[in-house]
Chains A and B, each alone.
Chain A
Amino acid sequence: MLISLILLGVLFVITAALAQTYHARVEGLVSEWFQKGNADLANGKPALAFEDFRNSLSYGPDNPEVQLRLAEALLADGRFTEARSYLVNLWDRAPGSGEVNLDLAHVSMQTGDVDQTIRYFRGAIFGSWEKEPALQRRKVRLELCEFLLSHRMTNDAQAEIAGLAADTPAGNGVLLEENGRLFLRGGEPGKALTEFEAALQIDPRQSQWLADAGQVAFEDGDFLKAEAYFSKSYRENPTNDVQASLALVRNVLGNDPFLAGLSDEEQARRAWRDFKLGLERLHNCAGTSKAGLSSGQSTSDLLPANKDAQDLQKRVNLRSLTGNPALRTEAMQFVSRIEDATSRMCGPGTGLDQALTLIEKRHEGNNP
């Protein structure tokens, strides 16, 4: 018995030494293949990377880092079902891992499972991240917002964007501007403008932010504010796009008879000018249409407008418009009808015509 116990001790020591050497070798192989996989993945060779990670995993099957990278290689190679299996396994062990949740969200996105996608995105937002957690969470939230917007889930998207804005540090203009763009896409221009203005407080001369703020104000119908932002943006960085936007806003502001603070004469003058422009657009379009209409089209859309024009022309002039807001409104409504009809027949108007359309839209519903 004593000899047996001594033998057992000797065998124990030998086995321990062997096991130590073996584990060192195995750990070396895990690391070796893992690094090779990372390099292949970085070089855009996901299929090779996937084989490398598999090799690595065969020596360290419990290594979650390798499993995650393997799943990511599979994702990059478009093998979503296989990736999902590994990720689900990882998720079971670490349901709070932000990275795993994000990868699972990507897989679910690919398989068209909207509910799961949202669930995993939220898991990633509230999950743990080893490096730069705040930045990672923001990235995930942005992705979730994009996903929700692309699936027309506007209410959910608005809630996420609001959450994103609430978590955004006040001193980062880039992030604020990013929020603004999202609010804009989510149909909340007012909130978008707030974000842009917050960004501009940090850097008031950032031309792109100024242009964005101008655009939001423009879409919100606040042309005065839009004009101010566009002109500032143009001063900082005179681009064609901003120039065009600025010209359009100025056309609106220069021709809108309903603009607050205008005298009655000025309103009449503007309405009279707009009316004449409308008539001109009608005649031009009718002339072009007769020459260029295809067999399926007719000038019938223009006929009612033409009839109204003949009727109104008898009543509308600069004098009759002065002191007669109702007639001014009627004249502008006529202009709007003309723009609609000519847009359908001859394409959308540009320059002043576009401005007239915007003026009418701006006051739609407010007219008596």
Chain B
Amino acid sequence: MSDPNIPVEETQVAAPVLSAAPKDSGLQWFSSKAHLLTLSEGNLFLLLAIIIGMFSGLAVVCFRIAIEWTRLGLLGSALAPPPLRVLLVPALAGLVVAFLVQKFFPRARGNGVNQTKAAVYVFDGFVPFRTVIGKFLTCSLAIGSGQSLGPEDPSLQMGAGIASALGRRLRLSRDRLRLLAPVGAAAGLAAAFNAPISAVLFVIEEVIGTWSASALGAIVLAAVSSAVIMRSFLGGEPMFRVPAYTLGHPAELLAYAVLGVVSGVLSLAFTKIIAYFRPRLRALPEWTHYFQPAAAGLLIGFVGLRIPQSMGTGYPYIDQALHSQYTWEILAILGFAKILTTSLSFVSGTPGGMFAPTLFIGAMIGGAIGGLEHHFFPQVSASVAPFALVGMGTFFAGFLRVPITSVFMVVETTGSYSIVLPVMISNTIAYLISRKYQDVALFDLLAKQDNLELPSMEEQREQIVLRVEDAMRKPDLPPLQASDTLARALEIAETSTEEILLVRFPTGRWAGIARKDLHALASEHAKESQLREVLSSARLPILHPDQRLDDVLRFIQGHALLPVVSRAGSRKLEGVLSLPDILTAYQRAT
């Protein structure tokens, strides 16, 4: 039975998964024998987050360099490589990648976000270090050879893997280990995108799904330290350089709304393509898995002969689109070609991420829509560049279903804050369209295809939260006052249907008397005794209408009836709540 003297608002509720660990391990600085500098596990955890961030940042720097060197070695330094290389390199590299994945690194094939989520929710924070090595090698080769994939998702998983390995080595508690994977993931993503805010938001929005204070501090520290490392080695400039943008006329926002609609529809189509082909290719006999990346590479090579921009990460071409280097027709072709090549790479099981291709497709489609609108309505729409910029975020929001991250990502990767208004409008529209016509978000879909039952963060966000106001009812009679006499209380009890009578004290304190106890009190005390004298120490917890019923359930047991009072003053009774009322509310909601 809970202590009735503890008010509800003093009760702290921990996140179900990422709760603070028991402070029992007492990890020490440097050595258990050296007691000079001893840190609590909480502080050590924050220090560890910084170290994880540094490790992840260094790993991502090496990874990015490895991709570039592979590309230079295999395809040459020109943006449009020689035709023979374009045709052969992705296919041959695909063979090697498939062999490595099938023989040595089977987990490198999967989606990094889901594998990190699986580490949190299924494997107690365990991410094999072999996966880190596998991702590094296979993704460097795949992306460097021109497969249409990006380095962000592998970076995220490498960060998670490094964090998990460090946590295991330090023998952290299970809860801490679970928390380490998203911390590492944020670090990996922050370094890959050079965007620590987006990385933090993404991990919260998509991996852990909750703003837990214990998790947030570590995630932020890891993301920041990782981004600092990355910037110190590869430069601190935003990923894309964009011309200055100003919103000319409010009507321009309509043009961006159109972009939101188109991006929403196309991101939906892209998701459907992947959802349809991926399980079918995976279901083919095992031996075909050795050749699927090579076949995809060959087809990508054919496309690359005419459209070399559709190969690899495509970052330089995004930059060009942002500088109005293509006509809207070319931009549209590039967008659709990238959808094709990325679908081929991804469904064939080639390791690599979808973030960079998503940005590419978004930029091209955005630019194409902008160019088209500018062609027909030059007075309404601005130049192509801002549309390409907004398109990146819009497609990202529609395809990956991370609406908040997508807004910050555009701002961070471009350093352009002025674009935020159109981005918000366009992203929201794309996100809503994608949500309406595709019940399951991409990451959840991929998890299901991989036979993983992971919690859907989107579903969690959308869950209806029942609150006290949904379950409380009006009392049949006004509450008793502390100054009322026992005789008056007995009189009221005769007319009330409640088993418990609530008593209000002038200080805002509340107490309760069971009807059956009232007669016993009357026999012990004089009938003219005031209630404040006979209920001197009794105190009921109080509730407020906006509190979650889930939280109330924890301590309502043991109280037959609780007062629901206004936050503006605890003397004002808004209603009453009992356990049966809560159960009725849950029944109604389902």
Contact = CB atoms under 8 A, between A and B. Distances in A.
Interface in A31-87: 32-33, 51, 54-55, 57-59, 61-62, 81-82, 84-86
B58 A82 contact: no
Interface centre among B29, B54, B68, B243 (most CB of A within 10 A): B243
A10 to B, nearest CB: 10
Interface stretch (B76-84, B211-219, B355-363): B76-84
Interface string B308-326: 0000000010011001110
A92 interface: yes
B325 A55 contact: no
Contacts of B62: 14-15, 18
A54 B321 CA distance: 12
Contact of B325 (A12, A82, A92): A82
Contacts, number: 85
A8 B169 CA distance: 14
A207 to B, nearest CB: 52
- The SS class assigned to the A binding surface is helix
Interface string A208-247: 0000000000000000000000000000000000000000
Interface residues of A, number: 36
Contacts of A89: 241-244, 323
B31 A85 contact: no
Contact of B170 (A1, A25, A51): A1
B80 A62 contact: no
Contacts of A82: 323-325
B383 interface: yes
A1 B29 contact: yes
Contacts of A26: 68
Interface in B376-393: 383, 385
A85 B386 CA distance: 11
B61 A15 contact: yes
Contact of B241 (A2, A15, A62): A62
A32 B72 CA distance: 14
B55 A8 contact: yes
Contacts of B169: 3-4
A22 B68 contact: yes
B273 interface: no
B333 to A, nearest CB: 17
A291 interface: no
A111 to B, nearest CB: 12
Nearest to B385: A85
A62 B323 contact: no
A12 B58 contact: yes
B237 A55 contact: no
Contacts of B69: 22
A251 to B, nearest CB: 59
Interface string B294-308: 000000000000000
Contacts of A84: 324
Given A18-B62, A55-B78, A55-B79, A8 B244 contact: no
Contacts of B235: 62
B234 interface: yes
B508 to A, nearest CB: 51
A89 B79 CA distance: 22
A336 B202 CA distance: 90
7 contacts: A4-B51, A8-B51, A15-B233, A16-B233, A18-B65, A51-B79, A54-B320
The 4 closest A-B pairs by CB, nearest first: A85-B324, A58-B316, A85-B323, A19-B233
